[in-house]
Amino acid sequence: MTSSNQLPEWFATALDAFGRGDLDGWMAIYAPDAVHEFPWVPEGRITRLEGWDAINAYMGRLVAAGAGGGGTFEVISVTETDDKLIVEMIGRRERDGVPVELGYVSVLTLRDGKVVRFRDYMNPLQLRR
């Protein structure tokens, strides 16, 4: 197990792609049978996406809405094992001209270099500030 404040290159590249609105670049990290979960979202919101197609459709809507654009990430900590990546970071962006900070904790499980499970601990209510 290694710990640092540096993202592995493959994940940094994917985050950069998402930030530029490059959906294909972001989706390149997922295995066909991947699951993406949002454990902290409010009731009534999507909590689980099963399979590459479902994740792609959801992320495509986020990209189309501009969710990735214009932000930066401050990496707080990164812990890696052979099959797991745990990242804590702060996303900073503007929403309607107002600076917003979003706290993230992401737990990714890997198989053969692809994400098979992404637990995305971000509360979207932070965007309402």
Structure letter (DSSP) for residue 22 = -
- Asked if pLDDT for residue 129 goes beyond 60, the answer is no
CB atoms within 10 A of CB 17: 19
List, for residues 51-105, the tens digit of each pLDDT value.
999 999 999 998 887 766 667 788 999 999 999 999 999 988 777 777 888 889 9
Say if CB 127 and CB 100 are below 8 A apart.
yes
> For the residues 37-58, what does the mean pLDDT come to?
94
What are the structural domains, with CATH classification, of the chain? 2-118 (3.10.450.50)
d(CA 119, CA 32): 16
Query: What is the DSSP code (8-state) at residue 68?
Result: S
Give, as one character, the DSSP assignment of residue 41: P
Query: Considering the chain, what is the average pLDDT of its residues?
Result: 89
